[in-house]
Amino acid sequence: MHVQCVLEANTGIIALVGFSEGYEESHEIEYNVANYGIIISTGQLDIPLPARIAQYMIDNGQDIFMYSYAEDDLISEHIGTTTLDRDKLLKSLGVWEARAIEKPLTANLHGGS
């Protein structure tokens, strides 16, 4: 399963999920830092959150509404909702920001751009 895209919503985001058959909602959520922001792992689904979307969720709400996505379907089926921990999201974004600041400095010290 993979996320096709994320859309901003009033209290969080909508994640359109491809190949949602057999999806089982998990109560265990992992927060991992990636080069573009944060990856939220819940069950067998990884949800990419670019830094701008992570900041949007911190400011507006931490709900992730997941819907199935197939190119030929007119209506998407709701497959689950997960609410992220705002403090963990904020900490993860802080780690991402610290890494983003360190990388250019390290590259410049070693002659990179």
pLDDT in tens, 59-96: 999 999 999 988 888 888 998 899 999 999 999 999 99
Contacts of 23 (CB under 8 A, 6+ apart): 1, 17, 43, 44, 45, 66, 79, 80
Mapping DSSP to helix (H, G, I), strand (E, B) and coil, where does residue 18 land?
Answer: strand
| CB-CB contact of 3 with 46 (8 Å) | yes
Q: What is the pLDDT of residue 110?
A: 46
Dihedral sign (CA 50, 34, 41, 59): negative
